[in-house]
Amino acid sequence: MTGDQFFYGKHRVIKGQQRKYNNQMDMNERHRTLFQMSDGLNSANRLFALGYHSVPLVSHQGVNRRNMKIGLFLFAFLLISDTSLLAGELPKKLMDSLTGVFKSQCPEASIEIKDGVFFAKFETMMFTIHGSSKTGKISEKTYQQEGPNYKGFLLRVSLEEGGPFQGQAVVPQTVHQVYWETYIDRPPAKDGSGYYNVSFSYGSRIDKDLKQLIFSTIPRTERKLTPRPESSLPITEALRVAMEYIEKEKMDISKYYIDSIRLLQQSSWMQGQHWVITWQIKDTYVDGGEIIIIVGMNKEIRRTYGE
């Protein structure tokens, strides 16, 4: 390296161009900041931020203005062509009905209508969650997520324009998570202009009447009833396997009773059909005191605890 050159990080800079290069680095940093802020934008802007950030903005020759123009064109194209990413206005009748439910049945609930999205929540808190892959492998890394406590709920309803839902998710469905359950649905709007984006998370001890009233008020997909899939492992056999496991592990359940036995098609605990057997402390309910045994159709056993 000659005396007229030096390195700025991994980039070689010609002497006399340091100020210009610093300005270019500052511009690149602003673009990174824009990308980090994209979490708060709608889907179209997030896609734009991701694509725009992936374009090399700074090289040893300076800013690549051609790529910047491509990024701006991509942004405009996404906004114009992909209208399914844009949120519409919820019908006033629906918002009034939802608001009336919570004001009459759960006046302590927090209600917010922002940018055409209806939010309602009650007894929520931040949880530390371990992510999992599609194969069921639990990640060591954790992240923070707001969710309902055992008596709480979290509801989000919006209207997405651009025709019927075309995503890969199977809807409607109830996702069984570690601390709560989440019902998701994407029913079409009556005029066919878009679809409702519905997400309803609730704790295990939510008021049953309130839960039923919310389900009867939110937009839902009309579907024909299908027979519930039968389990290849009978419930009595699943319970016997669970009790053998408890005895083998020398777990003391003398102060517990069986609170529930559920047959799930999949959950964050295990992929595929499985039984979830929950033991609760006798006489009094203790939040987080459950013992949960998961039994797969091949008699695979997993154990967890409520928190």
Instruction: Using DSSP, state whether 132 is helix, strand or coil.
Output: strand
Residue 278 lies in a domain: yes
pTM of the model: 0.48
Domain boundary among 37, 59, 81: 81
Instruction: Using DSSP, state whether 236 is helix, strand or coil.
Output: helix
Q: What is the pLDDT of residues 219-265, one digit of tens each?
A: 998 765 556 566 789 989 999 999 999 999 999 888 888 888 889 88
Residue 222 lies in a domain: no
In whole angstroms, what is the distance from residue 115 CA to residue 117 CA?
Answer: 6
Domain count, the chain: 3
Give residue 288's pLDDT band: very low, low, confident or very high (50, 70, 90): low
> Are the CB atoms for 284 and 257 separated by under 8 Å?
no
- Does 66 share its domain with 187? no
Q: What is the pLDDT of residues 102-119, one digit of tens each?
A: 999 999 999 999 988 999
**85: closest CA among 156, 155, 166, 31?**
166
Boundaries of domain holding 290: 235-305
Domain boundary among 81, 102, 118: 81
